[in-house]
Chain A
Amino acid sequence: MNQNASSVVVESLVKRFGDFTAVDHVSFETRRGEIFGFLGPNGAGKSTTIRMLCGLLQPTSGRAQVAGFDVARQPDAVRQRIGYMSQKFSLYNDLRVGENLRFFAGLYNVDSEVLSERIHWALEMAGLAGREAALTGTLASGWKQRLALGCAVLHRPPILFLDEPTSGVDPISRRQFWDLIHRMAAEGVTVFVTTHYMDEAEYCNRLALIHRGQLVALGTPTELKQRQMKGELLLVEAEPLARAIEVLSSAPGVLDAAVFGNALHLVVPQAAPAIPALRRYLEERGLRVARLEAIEPTLEDVFVSLTSGRAEPGPEGN
């Protein structure tokens, strides 16, 4: 498998629906055997991007090459070389497990010599061995997702597109699913996966943060956390919270303030001198400070810090 055959190269890709721009000049490249994550909130344009890469939507402008073929001009060549799991479960609920597998194997022209071996493999992987006769609609969602993954890789595609594969699945199944993804990547499959779970994004080798159709940052999770923050991060627990955020937003030296659960995350140029200064600042204004300490940024902090300046008013997508 050469580098080209398992790569995704995207240059300035744009998709407009009417005068709404869902994907706005996105560019990136993936490497063979890497798990490339697309992280962003609902409506950011993740599914639209993945659909263009699978040849389901025509790009408005820009270029995308998947497995060495242009998605707009050679979609059929692309389709033979990719596996795709759509955001919505889309196997046939009224077919049995084995019937779904045989159906998709048939559509992908899986050789009859390897067919039963591939189906057996997919059943094992999904943990559905011995349940070929179960109606797909009766499976729990974790099994359904793994079966969908099995159907998507029956033809051993070098590139796999997974659109929010773990949404609506319980945490244990999510963990199992990510183990499967890692196993495939270890075999050399390039996995392009979208998610809006920040914690899941940590499992990716590289991440693209996408916000309102634009790619706002790209790098490994560690790189993003180290490089993309404009300063250091503080955690504040103070009462009352609403007044605390109001006060801190205009406090000297605070670059950014955002609510995380029942606490606040602040971005400051340097943590050490800021801690005593801010404690005093809050107490002078009658707020009770329960906690104030430096913390390691999470991807969510990175995301908030990167997108807070861009949050121009406009209709939010779904």
Chain B
Amino acid sequence: MLARLHQMLIKEFLQVFRDKRSRFLLIVPPIVQMLIFGYAATFEIRHVPIAVLDLDHSQESRELVARFTASRTFEVRARLEHHRQIAELIDRGEVILTVQLHPGFAQRLRKGQTAPVQVILDGTNSNTALIALGYVNRIADRFARDYQRDRLRRTAPLTVAQTPTVELERRPWFNPDLRSRWFFIPGIIGSLTLVMVVNLTAFSIVRERELGTLEQIMVTPIRRSEFILGKTLPYFLIGLADAALIALVGTLWFQVPFRGELWVLFLGTVLFLLSMLGVGLFISTISATQQQAMVTAFFFLMPAITISGFGSPISSMPEALQYISYADPLRYFLVVLRGVYLKGVGLEVLWAQMAMMAVIGVTLLTISVLRFHKSLD
């Protein structure tokens, strides 16, 4: 048993590490992808291009426009003369939002009336649009409050101190600055590991089937378990090393805090890899060619990442998808990753996720091993 497994392992590692290209592919792309996704994946918006149309030309209107100019969120790209210019700028995507101040803006303010500020925005990317609108709101709000105080100070200085206000005191736990990168990096670690291990495992067997070497192995007395272990153990170890590499880049380069314990993350990664080996093996049992394996892997990987809670919370997905996501190992691994990294929690919180990954992993592996036959039928 061990002798044949040993031979399989030697052969598999020789093949993986002999080739310069495959050595390169195991190390460089994960790091590069970690860096790219780490920078690209963010909910924060900065330097949103906007245009301003000030038809009032008053001190008040200029004051409000100045607040937009000063904001880091917005970058005033154009100052317009006429509202007809708006459509063209938005159509061409040069700005995603315009702020329009009508004549009489200052006059209404001075009379103590409501002065409208019109905002036209490009809703194509609804997420960015919503967030940008929130910022516009905040700027307008601040402006209104400051203006009010100013007026009060001048007309009835004594009442200023008595004006009641409600101040929101934000205390985000775990991520005090609410950096979305902290949320994303653990997710990227999980997703990259997923893609890596599923592809490696699926391809390693299907390649042998396509080349015909599988046929030669199947006429030897090797046992099914020896062959499958020989084909998965190397990718388990490589997956573990790659996960560590990706996690190191995430932690050291992007400075995501690691608050939990290493062994909890290790246990989670092992269980996650188990289920990914199961998926990869399963794909290899239903694919005759590498092309089929690629299509099948893609068919699995995209939804697995999308419904895992990687970007948007599972609770805002349709109910049916929420149920499906229970079968998605990445869903549990993301909870483990974020829990260990940001919250520093341990098994007392994460045991259920660990158990689910173990159950899915063992089930998938069992099915795949049973489906794998030493025959060509």
Which residues of A come within 8 Å of B, CB atoms? 51, 54-58, 75-76, 79-80, 82, 84, 86, 88-92, 94-95, 99, 102-104, 106-109, 151
Contact = CB atoms under 8 A, between A and B. Distances in A.
B377 A90 contact: no
B132 to A, nearest CB: 54
B220 A79 contact: yes
Contact of B215 (A86, A92, A102, A107): A86
B234 to A, nearest CB: 14
Given A55-B219, A79-B221, A106-B10, 19 more contacts: A55-B375, A56-B215, A56-B218, A56-B375, A56-B376, A57-B377, A75-B374, A88-B212, A89-B212, A90-B211, A92-B15, A95-B11, A103-B10, A104-B220, A106-B6, A106-B7, A107-B7, A107-B217, A107-B220
Contacts of B215: 56, 86, 88, 90
B18 interface: yes
Given A82-B219, A95-B11, A95-B14, A57 B212 contact: no
Contacts of A90: 211-213, 215-216
Q: Which 10 pairs from chain A and chain B are nearest by CB?
A: A106-B7, A90-B216, A107-B220, A90-B212, A88-B212, A84-B219, A80-B221, A90-B213, A79-B221, A103-B11
Interface string B1-34: 0011011101100110011000000000000000
B221 A57 contact: no
B267 interface: no
Contact of A106 (B4, B15, B211, B218): B4
Nearest to B223: A76
Nearest to A75: B374
B376 A51 contact: yes
B45 interface: no
B237 interface: no
B374 A92 contact: no
B222 interface: yes
Contacts of B10: 103, 106
Interface residues of B, number: 26
A108 B216 contact: no
Contact of B11 (A57, A58, A92, A109): A92
Given A91-B213, A92-B213, A107 B221 contact: yes
B9 to A, nearest CB: 10
Contacts of B4: 106-107, 109
Nearest to B22: A94
Given A57-B376, A90-B213, A106-B6, A99 B221 contact: no
A99 B14 contact: yes
A86 B216 contact: yes
A55 B11 CA distance: 24
B83 to A, nearest CB: 68
Contacts of A107: 4, 7-8, 217, 220-222
Contacts of A79: 219-221
B374 to A, nearest CB: 7
Nearest to B222: A107
B375 A84 contact: no
A139 to B, nearest CB: 16
Contacts of B218: 56
B220 to A, nearest CB: 4
A153 to B, nearest CB: 13
B11 A99 contact: yes
Nearest to B217: A107
Given A94-B19, A106-B3, A58 B221 contact: no
B61 to A, nearest CB: 72
Contacts of B14: 95, 99
Contacts of A75: 374-375
A138 B217 CA distance: 21
A56 B212 CA distance: 12
B12 to A, nearest CB: 10
B160 to A, nearest CB: 81
Interface string B346-366: 000000000000000000000
A91 B219 contact: no
28 contacts: A54-B219, A55-B219, A56-B215, A56-B376, A57-B375, A58-B375, A75-B375, A76-B221, A79-B219, A80-B221, A82-B219, A84-B216, A90-B212, A91-B216, A92-B11, A94-B15, A94-B18, A95-B11, A99-B14, A102-B7, A103-B7, A106-B7, A106-B10, A107-B7, A107-B8, A107-B220, A109-B4, A151-B216
B6 to A, nearest CB: 7
A90 B212 CA distance: 5
Nearest to B226: A107
Contact of A109 (B15, B213, B219, B221): B221
